[in-house]
Amino acid sequence: MDDLNKNYSFEKLILPHRDSAYNFARWLTRNDNDAEDIVQDAFLRAFKFFGGFRGGDSKSWLLAIVKNVFYTKFSVSKKFDKIISMENNPVQISTDSTNPEIIYLRKENAGIIKDAIENLPLEFREVIILREMEDLSYKEISDILQIPAGTVMSRLARARKNLYLMLADQLKDEDENEL
């Protein structure tokens, strides 16, 4: 593949997934600067190895690179998973209503959900983000994380159950505080 065609194809196939790459990196790292570094490194690697891309789902291919860069850069461990806190809320909040109370409740709920996702173990957080926020199929997630589709399904089920339990505890605590 000559350089001109490589540049054009890369721009057409890979660059449209910048936002997804950043969103995934942001949720993995829980930090804007680290996410930007990971995405930059991932795009450099993607460009370098684009000649070896054999077609298929370019988004999954790029997100797999993002994941690999994250694991390599941070030598991910349980310690890392618990240390970093999220400073900004990447959850998008719809403000189609002008009612201040509704806007406040949406922001409050988004913050509670963000905190619950943030407290999931990394292996659960990955599948939740890829499935629920990036809307990827089990097969695509399986390819990105390099795990069997059955493992994706079980991790997703456990992640959802953990989220449910965390959110139920949060509601229970709020109800007890109101009494």
More confident residue, 102 or 139: 139
88 closest CA partner among 27, 144, 11? 27
pLDDT exceeding 70 applies to what percent of the chain? 73
Same domain flag for 145 and 174: yes
pLDDT at res. 30:
87
**Domain range for residue 17?**
1-84
CA distance 139 to 106: 32
The alpha carbon dihedral of 21, 93, 89, 80 has a sign of: negative
Token pair listed for 55? 């077609």
pLDDT on residue 97: 52
pLDDT at res. 169: 82
132 and 178, same domain (yes or no):
yes
Structural domain tally of the chain? 2
CA separation, residue 175 to residues 16, 117, 136, 172 (Å): 44, 21, 36, 5
Last residue of a domain, one of 64, 84, 104: 84
pTM for this predicted structure: 0.69
Residue 89 falls inside a structural domain: no
- Region of 73 (left: φ > 0; alpha: ψ -120 to 50; beta: rest) is alpha
Domain check: are 56 and 100 in the same one?
A: no
Say which residue, 60 or 100, is predicted with more confidence.
Answer: 60
Q: Are residues 37 and 113 in the same domain?
A: no
Q: What's the CATH code of the domain at 122?
A: 1.10.10.10
